[in-house]
């Protein structure tokens, strides 16, 4: 599958920036130790591969998914073979006592990269999953960041999202609040982060779902009114590594919006995707028609698709990597922009957020509205869209 052609490009976005800085990347990575948290997810694996191929002194990977970890190791061994440095993996939850014990024994690390996250808008559909999203995206970041401070790490990197810029969903807002917690700790340790576009065919994404639907002879469904920017898995790894190594304190890296980075609908990608597989996309008028016509259409060289207008909670109409109030450096790199930040945060509100979430968890009883109210206090312009409809109610 040619991912670049699917997303409307013919070359890697950061190719020139990587080449111009490769000598420095090799030197820094080759003389450093790394801990990658969430290193077996799609972005985590991409970052891990970028570090591994530059032969670090030590590279340890932590991820809660044992199966994904196995595939990450197989992928690395099959792509790059072996290195002299200490490369090991640990199937652990970064919020657990087991992780703390591992860190205390195997650390310290020069660079700590946190790629763990609940990334789906659908995770806000109920108050229980929403609380886990808060724990993973905010409080696990806070605890691992403190470990980095306590052990004298050179840099802490944490991935953010384009959805943190003027957020409209709880996932994006959680990452915006995470950035506030990072700003507070940036007085004690050098931090950087990255906001970027959808990673094409990342685990759990709609495009990854296309692969699953084809394997199971099921129809493809996609919105036809939502446009998104896409980067390849390799580009996501390169962006994170560049921010980790070259980011100054509080820098947020993002891909520049250029002629190389195109807005494209999921429906357009679905049509191109099927063309690469030798099928003509056949647009059905309903889910039932799509479900019932798979085998018949396949026999004619076509594949059933159901394209629809999006009406679910938390869908942003457009993507943006920065707001009009943020200061940018667009000169340092060819296709990487940088948001320059002062350590701006409200300590009183952050402490209130800690306290109130703690009370909810201790009581083992809370409502979604309580968490939304706390988010609104920290993000006054939070434009949360609650439609009562969620992606789990769609094909």
Give the span between the Cα atoms of 328 and 339, in whole angstroms. Answer: 5
DSSP reduced 3-state for 367? coil
Give the tokens for residue 192: 């950087």
CA angle at residue 141 from 137 to 143, to 5 degrees? 135
From first to last of its 395 residues, what are the pLDDT tens digits of the chain?
788 888 888 889 999 999 999 999 999 999 999 999 999 999 999 999 999 999 999 999 999 999 999 999 999 999 999 999 999 999 999 999 999 999 999 999 999 999 998 876 777 889 999 999 999 999 999 999 999 999 999 999 998 866 666 677 888 899 889 999 999 999 999 999 998 778 888 877 778 889 999 999 999 999 998 888 888 999 999 999 999 999 999 999 999 866 566 788 889 999 999 999 999 999 999 999 999 999 999 999 999 999 998 766 555 555 667 777 888 999 999 999 999 988 989 999 999 999 999 999 999 999 999 999 999 999 988 866 665 665 666 66
Half-sphere exposure of 29 (CA within 13 A, CB side): 23
- Quickly list H helices, the chain: 3-6, 15-30, 42-52, 66-80, 97-106, 127-134, 140-150, 170-185, 206-215, 233-246, 266-276, 287-292, 294-298, 347-363, 368-378
Do the beta carbons of residue 306 and residue 394 sit within 8 Å?
no
For residue 361, give Cα distances in angstroms to 130, 135, 261, 377: 12, 10, 42, 19
**What backbone phi and psi angles, to 5 degrees, belong to 94?**
-70, -5
Give the span between the Cα atoms of 242 and 291, in whole angstroms. Answer: 44
pTM of the model: 0.88
Q: What does DSSP assign to residue 137?
A: I
């Amino acid at each position: 599958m040619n991912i670049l052609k699917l997303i409307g490009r013919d070359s890697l976005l950061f190719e020139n920036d990587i080449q111009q800085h490769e000598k420095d990347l090799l030197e820094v990575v080759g003389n450093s130790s790394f801990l990658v948290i969430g290193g077996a997810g799609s972005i985590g694996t991409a970052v891990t591969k970028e570090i591994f191929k530059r032969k670090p002194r030590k590279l340890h990977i932590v991820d809660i998914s044992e199966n994904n970890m196995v595939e990450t190791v197989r992928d690395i061994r099959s792509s790059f073979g072996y290195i002299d440095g200490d490369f090991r993996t640990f199937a652990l939850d970064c919020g657990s006592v087991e992780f703390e014990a591992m860190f205390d024994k195997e650390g310290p690390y020069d660079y700590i990269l946190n790629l763990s996250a609940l990334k789906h808008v659908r995770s806000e559909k109920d108050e229980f999953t929403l609380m886990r999203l808060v724990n993973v995206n905010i409080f696990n970041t806070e605890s691992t960041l403190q470990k980095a401070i306590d052990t004298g790490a050179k840099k802490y990197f944490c991935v953010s999202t384009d959805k943190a810029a003027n957020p409209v969903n709880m996932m994006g807002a959680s990452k915006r609040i995470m950035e506030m917690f990072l700003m507070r700790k940036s007085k004690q340790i050098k931090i950087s982060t990255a906001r970027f576009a959808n990673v094409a065919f990342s685990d759990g994404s709609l495009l990854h779902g296309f692969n699953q639907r084809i394997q199971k002879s099921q129809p493809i469904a996609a919105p036809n009114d939502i446009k998104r920017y896409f980067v390849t898995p390799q580009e996501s790894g390169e962006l994170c590594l560049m921010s980790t190594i070259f980011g100054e304190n509080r820098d947020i890296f993002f891909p520049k919006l250029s002629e190389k980075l195109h807005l494209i609908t999921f429906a357009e990608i679905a049509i191109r995707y099927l063309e690469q597989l030798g099928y003509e996309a056949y647009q059905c008028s309903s889910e039932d028609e799509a479900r019932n016509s798979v085998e018949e259409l396949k026999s004619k060289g076509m594949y059933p698709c159901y394209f629809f207008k999006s009406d679910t909670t938390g869908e942003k109409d457009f993507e943006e990597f920065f707001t009009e109030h943020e200061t940018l450096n667009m000169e340092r790199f060819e296709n990487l922009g940088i948001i320059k930040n002062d350590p701006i945060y409200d300590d009183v509100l952050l402490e209130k957020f800690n306290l109130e979430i703690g009370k909810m968890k201790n009581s083992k009883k809370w409502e979604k509205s309580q968490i939304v109210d706390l988010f609104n206090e920290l993000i006054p312009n939070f434009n949360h869209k609650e439609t009562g409809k969620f992606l789990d109610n769609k094909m």
